[in-house]
Each structure stands twice: as C-alpha cells, then as structure tokens.
Amino acid sequence: MPSSPPFIPTFIFSQDSELDVLASRPPGRSDKTADMPYEEGVHMVDSIVAGRTLESFQWVRGEELPLEMSLYLVGLLLPYRAHFHFLVPIPYLVHHFPLPPSDPASIHPCLRNACHLAACSVIGGRWSSLEPYFAAKTRAFLDKVLMLPTPEHIIHFLWASILLASYLMRERRVEESFTTIASACSISSAFGLLSTYNLEYFKEHHPGHPLLPAPTTEAEALHRIWLLHSIYLTDHSLSALTGLPPSSRCEEWTMPSLENGKIVFHGFKIPMVADDELRKVWESDVHRSAFAMHIFKRASALVLVDYQKSPTRYQSDLDYLMRFIRALSSEIPPLSSMTHDSKPAVFLSNSVLYGSLLVIHSIRAGNDADERREMLRCVRDLVEICVKFRSYGSIRRIQSSFVPVIHMMNAVRVLAHELQKPDVEENPRLCSEYCHSIEIVLDFIDEVITSFPAWSTSLESIKDVLISAINSLTL
C-alpha cells in the first residue's frame, strides 16, 4: 500500500550532487532539491509529466532504453518512492544511474527496469502500457543476477525485489508479491545482511559474507540499514494487508531498541535510529503508512463481528481501532485545510480516515440514528475529497493508490441505499443532494480509469455493478 511521498533529508546530499540530471530541478530554480519545499517538488513532477509524452522519446519497445528516458522515469519515481518502500539513498542513484552498462559500478538491469516499472505505474496514462514490458524485464534479470553476483549486484537484487514486490502488492497479485519479498528476506539472511540499527554496532559486529563483505564506510552501512528497513517494511506491509505470515518473523529479524510509548501494530515496531534525520523520515512516512494500512484492515475486519451477539468483543475491537484513528487524525491536517498546495499524502490519509469511519458507523446505522448521522457525515467528507482531488490539479494526486477508490465506492453504496429510505424519498432536497454526490464519485472514478488504464477492467466492472445496483434501487 502506498504511503506519503518521502521527506528527503538534506544530510544525504553532498555539496556536489547534480540532481538536475534526474529532472529534479524545476524551471527557474538554481538551488538543489534538498532545499526544495515538498509541495513544489510535487508540482514540478506534474509539469514534467505534462511536458513529455511516451512518443516524444522515439523509443522502440525491445531496444535498449535511452539514457534520457531512463533518467526521466527515475526522476518521476523519486517523489513517490515511499509508495514502493524504496528508501534508497538518493545520492547513490544520482551517482550510479547515469553510468553506462559497461561500467562495473552501473545499476544492474534488474534494478533499472524495476525503477522504470514503478515509475510507469505512478505516472499512468500511456505509460501504464509499458508496465507488463518492464515487469517481464525485471523478472528476467532477477533470475540471472545472482548467478555470478558482485556485492553491488546483491544490493541491486534486493532493491529490485522490494520494488517488484511492492508493485505486485499494489496490483493485488498477492502470491507473486509474497514469493518475491520472501526471496529477498531469505537472501538477506543468507548473506548476513541482518543487523541492529546502530551504525557503530553494525560496523563492529556485522561479520560480512564472502560475496557481501562488511561495510567499510558509514555511508555504506547507512545504505544497508535503509535497505533492511525497506525489506522489513515491505514484508510486514504485505502481511498486514493479506494476513499471510511475514517471512521476516524469525528471531534474527526482531527490530531492536524500541521507543517507549509508541503504539506497536501488526508486529511492526518503530526502531530507535541514532540519526535524527533518518528518524524523521521513518516516523513521517513509514509510521503513517503503516498506521493507515492497519486502520484500513481492522475497519474491514470489524464488519465481520456481530455486535449484537458478541458485544464485548465488538467493543474491544472498536476501542482498539479508534486508538489508531485518533492517532492518524492527530498527524494529518484536517479536511477543511486541504488546498492545491497540500501534499498528496494529506488526500490519501483523509480518504483512509473517513473511509474507515464510514465502515465503522455503517455497522450500526440501521438501528442507531446517531450512527446513521455520523455515517452520512463521513460520506459527505469523502465526496468533498473527491471534489478536491479533481479541483486541485492532476488526478495523479491519487498516486496510483486503489485505497481511496474503494472508500469512494463504499460511499456510493451507502448513498444508493439511503435513497430508498422513506425519510429521504420524501425529501426532494436530500434526494437531489445524494444523486449529485453519486455523480461526483462516478465522475471521479471515470477520471481515475482514464489516468490509470491498468485499472480500467476492474474499475469499469465495479462501476457497472454500482450503476446497476443504483438503477435497481431507484426504480
């Protein structure tokens, strides 16, 4: 599941990093991306996408990707890399990605193609048509990279596996995602990559492996720490979403040095990180992402509990879930403050928040007037998010995340059923408001289908079912 795009800490950039080679400098700016406000970075990426088309690169499928096109795709991926748990240090990509394949330090094709795949899935439009191509290329190179691996190739294999597993998870291809990240966990363990998260301890106690020696510099050690964080997060995110056991569940994968007072969720704990900037990234992106995912899962599970037959269990599960909802709502700006400058993460987090509350209130709405009132308030909030999604720039603010679409569709179902209630049927104003809200959501879904063709079959089928249900209810 997607998370907020990452805060990129200034400490990971050197003075000489020329990030403009990755299209990371907006027109008219001479300073580095490290100092760029996040919102400006998002608008910059939107303008890049609008300015270039797939056809403009004059690339023939099957031929080697031009360096210009490759760098373009990576530049577009970077603001959204946390969606794929791709927490790779940016200077590493900046230095290695432009190198030709003949250079021993160049990025291995498995990681290069995985980056292209992730970028195309985020961009949408015509670029989505390349997803099967880059997915096949990524798989083919992953199968070959460990035959005669270098230390760098092992690292590239693991990063590519993270990207591919995250992509497959977003595409609901659960079994493929599970086997991909399970392989990465096994390789990490086999090559002795596991360690604590203290840099000095890592360098002192990490024994290394003949094919993957211990890191010799602090930067190299930090890179591997980010890699381990990413593997662990990807694995446990998939576990939280599907209920499958995590592959990193053995004792050697236990995260050390936990912060006191933090809520522990689905076996995923916030590690104590020595570096303040790294901690800031971890807590602002990963922490919120895991919270949102856990809320979504628990809200869906609450529907299965019969609150009349098992009131104690229902109340216990509800109280547990509300802890997380309160925690999430305290971390994100309120819906009323959403503007065209708001981070996409604000849109996504609000979608999860009000969508989960909608599920909770709808459980008892049939027997409780207060619950019904709160349910309808959540529906109105979700419709407002739809309007703001479309009003404030590109629909790409959805960032190729299916979760908001699910919540919007739930809102349509609720409104369709409400139209059959006697008190609504007798109120022309409410009937008109609900019908207009349904139109807004369906228009939103149409725009998502246009922007992300890979979803078209699933979304159009679900939309047709919704429309048929609405028509049958309103006849």
Highest-pLDDT range among 50-54, 159-163, 310-314, 468-472: 159-163
- 8 Å CB contact between 9 and 280: yes
Tell me the pLDDT tens digit for each residue of 103-119. 888 999 999 999 999 99
Neighbours of 30 (CB within 10 A): 6
Give pLDDT, residue 444: 85
Residue found under tokens 């939309």: 463
Please, which residues bridge with residue 63 across strands?
Answer: 61
pTM: 0.53
Q: pLDDT category, 139, cuts 50, 70, 90?
A: very high
**CA distances, 113 to each of 46, 117, 138, 234 (Å):** 22, 6, 5, 19
Q: Does pLDDT of 258 surpass 50?
A: no
Euclidean distance between CA atoms 401 and 78, whole angstroms: 16
Span 374-385, average pLDDT: 92
Span 72-76, average pLDDT: 84
Structure tokens at 298: 């628990």
What b/e sequence results for 76-102 when a residue is b if at least 16 CB atoms lie within 10 Å of its CB, and e otherwise?
Answer: bbbbbbbbbbbbbbbbbbbbbbbeeee
- Percent above pLDDT 70 for the chain: 67
